């Protein structure tokens, strides 16, 4: 129930609920991965059930796909959709230019493919994810398992020549074993602390053999919806440089909040 949610979860919920208002009948919608995106999928499912909204949803991970089907959404592949009207996703960090770090949920590859195949990307977040400079959150890097230690060494060597504050890298684990993404790859987390030139880093990382994709989302996000624990939401639009504020009332719903494990 909303009355039992922490302030952070309330902030995620109101951001997700507000972002669902961008979804219109007949749209093809990309669904993000992560805790905030899970709120959005639940909210979207409720709208579909109660208002009869007809949409087709393209999830960015197996777990998002499972949740979307559980709440009654029509799930299709990106190949079936070809192009999307809108993608709604969370972020691990967002700066004032709407550059993002994503990949905390190990789904950055599918998330970036889906987001770039969309007319619009709306990011939902709480105020704690807003930063002046990206880099405090470890930057995820999806790499193929073959020769991953060589790839890691090449990444570390490359970081020596770039404008970052930290240069430590680590292989993300799933218990005692390396984590595998939905695409069968590993994740290297780059502990950079501060990224001086986001565009340069994103470009250089993807030139390293073995690197599949990085978690820097540059010039992809159009709108950021920031939620607050008191029910306030801010809608920030990059295209017209506008900021609008609203407030959402918490309405308890057993169907919406039951069994939300993400």
Burial environment of residue 252 by CB neighbours within 10 A (0 to 12, 13 to 18, 19 or more): exposed
Q: Name the DSSP letter for residue 88.
A: E
Q: DSSP for 89-106?
A: E--SEE-TT--EE--TTS
Q: What values do phi and psi take at 147, rounded to 5?
A: 65, 30
C-alpha to C-alpha distance for 210 and 193, rounded to whole angstroms: 23
Instruction: Give Rg (Cα) of the chain.
Output: 18
Cross-strand partners of 244: 235
Active site residue 93: no
C-alpha to C-alpha distance for 262 and 18, rounded to whole angstroms: 19
Burial annotation 8-23 (CB, 10 A radius, 16+ → b, else e): bbbbbbbbbbbbbebb
**Which residues does the annotation place in the binding site?**
33-36, 89-92, 102-105, 129
**Which residues does the annotation place in the binding site for substrate?**
33-36, 89-92, 102-105, 129
C-alpha to C-alpha distance for 73 and 68, rounded to whole angstroms: 5
- From the candidates 24, 50, 80, 111, which is the catalytic residue? 111
**Two structure tokens written together for 241:** 């440089």
User: Tokens 């295209």 map to which residue?
Assistant: 239
Residues known to be catalytic: 111
């Amino acid at each position: 129930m909303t009355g039992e949610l922490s302030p952070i979860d309330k902030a995620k919920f109101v951001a997700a609920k507000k972002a669902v208002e961008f979804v219109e009948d007949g749209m093809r919608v990309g669904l993000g991965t992560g805790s905030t995106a899970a709120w959005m999928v639940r909210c979207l499912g409720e709208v579909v059930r109660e208002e009869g909204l007809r949409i087709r949803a393209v999830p960015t991970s197996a777990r998002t796909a499972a949740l979307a089907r559980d709440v009654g959404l029509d799930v299709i592949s990106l190949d079936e959709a070809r192009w999307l009207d809108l993608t709604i996703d969370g972020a691990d960090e967002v700066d004032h230019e709407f550059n993002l770090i994503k990949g905390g949920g190990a789904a950055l590859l599918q998330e970036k493919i889906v987001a770039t195949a969309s007319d619009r990307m709306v990011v939902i977040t709480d105020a704690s994810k807003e930063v002046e400079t990206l880099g405090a959150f470890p930057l995820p890097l999806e790499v193929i398992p073959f020769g991953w230690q060589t790839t890691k060494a090449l990444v570390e060597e490359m970081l020596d020549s770039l404008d970052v504050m930290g240069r430590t890298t680590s292989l993300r684990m799933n218990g005692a074993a390396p984590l595998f993404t939905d695409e069968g790859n590993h994740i290297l987390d780059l502990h950079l602390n501060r990224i001086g030139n986001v565009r340069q880093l994103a470009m250089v990382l993807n030139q390293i053999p073995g690197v599949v994709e990085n978690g820097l989302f540059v010039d992809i996000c159009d709108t950021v919806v920031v939620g607050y624990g008191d029910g306030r939401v801010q809608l920030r639009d990059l295209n017209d440089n506008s900021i609008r504020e609203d407030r959402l009332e918490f309405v308890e719903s057993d169907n919406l909040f039951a069994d939300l494990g993400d």
